[in-house]
Chain A
Amino acid sequence: MAGSISRVRSSSDIPMSVPMKRNLPSEWVLTGLVVAVVVILSILPMLRLVQEIIAPGGRLSVAAVEAGLSNPATWTATWHSLVVGFGGTILAVIFGTAVAILVSLTDVRGRSAFVLCFVTPLMIAPQVTALAWLQLFGPASPLLKLLGIAPPLGTRNPLYSAQGIILLLGVQYGPLVFLMVRAGLRKLPRELVEAGLAGGASRWTVLRTVVLPLMTPSIIGASALVFVSCVGNFGIPAFLGIPANYLVLPTLIYQRLAGGGPAVLAEVAFLSVLIGVIAMAGIVAQDIISRRRDYRIATTSLPVEPFELGRYRMLVEALMWLIICTILVLPLLGLFLTSLVPGYGIPLSFKTATLSNYSFVLFEHAAAKNAFFNSTILSVAAAIFAVLIAVPLGYFIAWRSSWWSKVLNLTVELPYALPGVVLAIAALLMFLKPIPLINLQIYNTVWIILYAYLARFMVLALRPTVSGFHQIDRSLEEAAQVAGAGFIMRLRTIIFPMVAPVAVAGGLLIFMTALSELTVSALLWSSGSETIGVVIFSFEQGGDSSYAAAISMMTVTLTFLLMIASNFLARHLPNGVLPWRD
């Protein structure tokens, strides 16, 4: 990095035309820096992973692929991944689309509160969702015990199964489908719907023959995204699948790596590429399907007049809040009650309820204390760094549109589009040995997690920033340029202040996602660099559900507070930046 800077500086010493000398070097330096960061964070890890598969140790070889393909565990886990991937996607799509249509096309009341609650599961870490739901069933459920309807001893918790995983994936990602379909429904051409109704078609017919066909692109897009998320999800199959010995690819990788250490890296690298290929296949399939027909919507019209539900309105509203109760309130209540239980199997009452689980994880348990510190620093650092990069990067992508800025955009998307396990394995491969030249060892430290977070979450800040740039009039910046302000000056005084709200909102999204992240840190953590997600996971694996529940409750509360607080930013933001705001 330092090399490229000095080179640029010395080239500006060569006599050149005067304006070039005044304006360009700083911009070049910055461009160079931004490109370098993107290359280091996105391109290098993927290249390293591919190299490990086709040419481990620098020589072409198919040994790793053959070993992976000949192991029956690979095929079982692949099959399981496909089962929960498709199952979760189908459930999420049906669930999310139905709710989106209900909320967008009918005259139900209390929409924004409903959307806030409905989208919340998306902001809660998957392992916390899994832990919360587990507390609802089985003979140990504090809620069922409190109500006196706990099943007899020896009854298996039904969530420890493929069906359980599919159900929770559907709940976790249903809101994602909801958001995308709802965005599509906002653009639904009013005249088509009205023409259908005027022509005597019933509402069902209009829904079936007009609305749903027009929503196909949104639904297909959402399906692909959800499929990738389901296949790459680690938290839910780790909590529900490992106890049932139902392994999917990410949990298989985790178990291999936890037991075998760096020695099995080549083997798990193959498995991670396999997940990557499955995820990519989902995205390519989406591309092919949406190209088969042209779904362009020609006009921008007023929103569709909401269908009046009449006497069914109360019923539908009750149903909507029943959904919130089921997917949000009950699981969180279960989680909360478990966090108050003083010891295994002790029935909960006002007398036995205790806050000692909270004080244990906050003040006594060294790894948990470490984890709070690490996760906070990691997510703040990732958020700040991503915002600092996203602003100049978004500027190039949005306002200097050219082929290379598009490539840059795609490159940043890649680590987020691929399952987190893929990036984690790539980071391990890159940093197992000290970094050449500077001889710095970041394997087994918190820095390797920071690297992976930056690579993975940068796009969360970039997307809103780019959409922010698209909505801002460029004339102010051009005026400053004409007046002779250099690029850094314009960036500091004009560009950054203008996109600050969106960039900060993006940073906030990163902070919330990274705070209880598990997939990446489960593979990269070491003693001293535990994260909150890892500590929750190890407590649950060791049987200490109450401690896990206490930490989870704290992160859920923090997430919810941040979601509400961030609404104050909302006035300055384009639509859709904060997913929970309707």
Chain B
Amino acid sequence: MIHSLKRLALAPLAFAAGLTVSAAQAETLMLYTSQPEADASKTIEEFRKVNPGIDVQVYRSGTSDILSKLAAEFAAGAPQPDVLFIADAVSMELLKKDGRLAAYKEANTTGFPAESYDVDKTYFGSKLITTGIAYNTGAAEKPQHWSDLTGSAYKGMLVMPSPLYSGAAAYQLSGFAAKPELGWAYFEKLKTNDTIAVRGNGAVLKSVASGEKPYGILVDFMALNAKAKGSPIEFVFPEEGVPAVTEPVAMLSTAKNPAAAKKFIDFILSDAGQKLALSQGYLPAKESAGRPSWLPADAKIKIMPIDIKAVLERTEEDKSKFSKLFGG
């Protein structure tokens, strides 16, 4: 009897012991990223091949969404991530301004264009992602210009990523809004044309390729990768220019594991990391890494000049204005 009693009494203890063992694992790295689900998991897998001792935990969401989660964590005094891998430099600048990013002076930026990384070396662009117009091959119209989308043929047929979720979309919003030829009027016209804003570029791709909405504002690599796989989708880089983001990586000043965070940055900037981006269908920032098959060497793409400082100042206001106009 005493024997069985002892066993009963010990069971919860053994259970608790098991808990502590699993809680105190090897080295962990907390990553917040806006990469699409499948790409993020591939990136981590490849990183772990180079750094087998590091257990990567990941939170994945849209850049704007990650920023609000981070703001809440800063307010609570407990920021979780060691390293950020998100869509655009403006979001990084916002964090840098508040002293949330740590500089990594020793990072190897050889072969990267100087404008791709921060002069203070707090964040490092990893690729070039532009936003253009995607349409279903079964669609009636073939859009060529940003202004086409406000036409009556597109009424109720257009989908765009919400800037409240996506960093690339937030960058585009403020970039366009600051331009006299487009301005806020452009988005007001999109709204009167019954355009809907959805959670992220992935949702836009699905909507356009499946035909729920035949036209969409979308990042290049998603549309062109899907096209390569056989999806009925076409992509246009409007000749008046496309906004481009750099998907930068950065270490937080509050990182609990700065050593591992640096290793992650090293990996993203390494040749292996840049080749991985290429194999995922992105245009890597390091030119020697090569170009994706959807981008021929003679292709002419005009990057729209956008003043990052101006965007930085107005992005929060623009987002809240957008939220009121489109209702979330």
Is A442 an interface residue when CB atoms closer than 8 A count as contact?
yes
The answer for the CA separation of A192 and B38 in the assembled complex, in Å, is: 64
Given known pairs A154-B214, A344-B206, the reply for A365 and B38 (CB within 8 Å) is: yes
Tell me the count of chain A residues lying within 8 A, CB to CB, of chain B.
56
Given known pairs A153-B139, A440-B20, the reply for A543 and B8 (CB within 8 Å) is: no
Binary contact track B4-44/A, C-beta < 8 Å → 1, others 0 = 11001100110010011011000000100000111001001
Interface centre among B37, B138, B231, B328 (most CB of A within 10 A): B37
Is A106 an interface residue when CB atoms closer than 8 A count as contact?
no
Measured between beta carbons, the chain A residues less than 8 angstroms from B68 are 259-260
- Which of the segments A456-464, A505-513, A534-542 contacts the partner chain? A534-542
Is A19 an interface residue when CB atoms closer than 8 A count as contact?
no
Binary contact track B268-296/A, C-beta < 8 Å → 1, others 0 = 00000000000000000000000000000
The answer for the CA separation of A543 and B9 in the assembled complex, in Å, is: 49
A75 to nearest B CB, angstroms? 16
> Which chain B residues (213-235) contact chain A, with CB distance < 8 Å?
213-214, 226, 229-233
Measured between beta carbons, the chain A residues less than 8 angstroms from B213 are 153-154
Q: Which of B16, B45, B57, B204 contacts A438 (CB 8 A)?
A: B16
Measured between beta carbons, the chain A residues less than 8 angstroms from B139 are 153
Q: Which of B30, B36, B65, B210 contacts A542 (CB 8 A)?
A: B36
Is B50 an interface residue when CB atoms closer than 8 A count as contact?
no
Given known pairs A2-B9, A263-B72, A263-B75, the reply for A366 and B45 (CB within 8 Å) is: yes
Q: Is A488 in contact with B209, judged by CB distance below 8 angstroms?
A: no
Q: Which of A264, A342, A447, A541 contacts B230 (CB 8 A)?
A: A342
Is A544 an interface residue when CB atoms closer than 8 A count as contact?
yes
Binary contact track A335-377/B, C-beta < 8 Å → 1, others 0 = 0000000111110000010000000100011110000000000
The answer for the CA separation of A366 and B58 in the assembled complex, in Å, is: 11
> Which chain A residues (506-560) contact chain B, with CB distance < 8 Å?
526-528, 538-539, 541-545
Q: Is B37 in contact with A260, judged by CB distance below 8 angstroms?
A: no
Interface centre among B45, B76, B212 (most CB of A within 10 A): B212
Q: Which of B16, B38, B210, B327 contacts A140 (CB 8 A)?
A: B210
Q: Is A260 in contact with B72, judged by CB distance below 8 angstroms?
A: yes
Is B143 an interface residue when CB atoms closer than 8 A count as contact?
no
Measured between beta carbons, the chain B residues less than 8 angstroms from A29 are 5, 8
The answer for the CA separation of A445 and B25 in the assembled complex, in Å, is: 12
Q: Is B211 in contact with A140, judged by CB distance below 8 angstroms?
A: yes
Is A262 an interface residue when CB atoms closer than 8 A count as contact?
yes
Q: Which of A138, A262, A344, A526 contacts B209 (CB 8 A)?
A: A344
Query: What 18 additional pairs, Cβ within 8 angstroms, besides A264-B72, A360-B38, A543-B200?
Result: A26-B5, A33-B8, A139-B210, A140-B211, A153-B157, A153-B212, A261-B76, A262-B78, A345-B208, A345-B226, A345-B232, A352-B230, A366-B45, A438-B16, A441-B23, A527-B58, A542-B200, A542-B203
Give 8 CB contacts A-B under 8 Å. A5-B5, A140-B211, A364-B41, A438-B16, A442-B19, A445-B23, A542-B203, A543-B206
